[in-house]
Amino acid sequence: MADTTTPTYMAFQHDGHLLHLETKVLSVQAAAQLGEENQKVFKQDFSDQDYVVITKDTVFHPQGGGQPTDEGTMASTTRLDTKFQVTSVRMDASNNGQVLHLGRFVGPEASRFETNETVTQDVDGEKRLLYSRLHTAGHVLGAAVRHLLEHQVDNFDELKASHFPDSAACEFQGLIDGKHKAAIQERLNEYVSRGVPVEVDFWSEDDFRREGLERLIPDRSLLPPGEDRFRVVKIVGLETYPCGGTHVDDSSQCGEVAVKKIARSKGNSRVSYTLKQ
């Protein structure tokens, strides 16, 4: 029977360099047997070869917060022919704090994991680094735009962001004129080249208030079960963001970041960006 009560410990949120982890299997389920809500979060059709594995801990970042899913493998520590290719990862839609790893068992016999079996998890490090660079670059871009235009653009605020390789962008409330593109690029270049440290912390609502950042207090429904502090990412000396994603250690590790264009619609603006690979 599947364990539906134990939240997954998201190890990557405490150690962003972690790409390998040993943990235990809580459950294995055919993807087609998932509840309707969880089938929807993957947005794809399943074959009879697709399974979802839930583990006690995970090093895989589930897609969300604008960051793509991690990919990689899981393997049994005792049965060398038992391996699972992880192709997509999501949070359980029931908000029980569990992480769903979608993929297929591979190998000569393609045997499945057993409950409580010990497995190793390995994340695709090249993709993780790219997504971390993109995510940090998005926060640095957000800081650059805020510091330049917060008092020049009516009703300015930061809204949301996408850190996908082909659609990276930050969205803002208020209309940002295209004439600001060069200034945004210049400020962005400055912050990237400065090598601003990136730090992770865990804050209570009182911590946000103490720092004068009440506007950033997330909805408490976003807290993992049993937790009372929100994860925040600090671009030191620039901005702090509530964020569950992965990041590089300092802004210089983003590499060259280019502002593509500024689009405006319905009172909001979208500043898109790319990384030099």
pLDDT recorded at residue 80 = 84
- Cα distances (angstroms) measured from residue 244 to each of 48, 208, 219, 233, 239: 32, 16, 14, 8, 15
Whether residues 214 and 115 share a domain: the answer is no
pLDDT tens digit sequence for 206-218: 999 999 999 999 9
Whether residues 58 and 181 share a domain: the answer is no
Q: Is 57 exposed, middle or buried (0-12, 13-18, 19+ CB in 10 A)?
A: middle
Whether residue 57 contacts residue 23, with contact meaning beta carbons closer than 8 Å, is answered with yes
Whether residues 76 and 176 share a domain: the answer is no
Identify the band that residue 2 occupies on the pLDDT scale cut at 50, 70 and 90.
low
pLDDT recorded at residue 276 = 86
Whole-prediction pTM value? 0.94
Q: In whole angstroms, what is the distance from residue 84 CA to residue 104 CA?
A: 6
Whether residues 143 and 267 share a domain: the answer is yes
Residue finishing a domain among 90, 123, 156: 123
Q: What is the CATH number of the domain that holds 142?
A: 3.30.980.10
Whether residues 225 and 240 share a domain: the answer is yes
pLDDT tens digit sequence for 125-136: 999 999 999 999
Whether residues 269 and 133 share a domain: the answer is yes
What is the dihedral sign for C-alpha 77, 80, 81, 85?
positive
Identify the band that residue 239 occupies on the pLDDT scale cut at 50, 70 and 90.
very high
Whether residues 149 and 214 share a domain: the answer is yes
In a domain, 4, yes or no: no
In a domain, 1, yes or no: no
Has residue 225 got a pLDDT over 80? no
pLDDT recorded at residue 6 = 85
Q: In whole angstroms, what is the distance from residue 32 CA to residue 146 CA?
A: 45
Q: What is the CATH number of the domain that holds 105?
A: 2.40.30.130
Domain containing residue 61: 9-123
End-to-end CA distance of the chain: 45
In the chain, the number of structural domains is: 2
For residue 48, give the 3-state DSSP assignment: coil
Residue finishing a domain among 64, 93, 123: 123
- The β-bridge relationship of strands 198-203 and 239-242 is unpaired
Whether residues 17 and 78 share a domain: the answer is yes
pLDDT recorded at residue 83 = 95
Q: Distance between alpha carbon 113 and the CA centroid of its chain, in Å?
A: 27
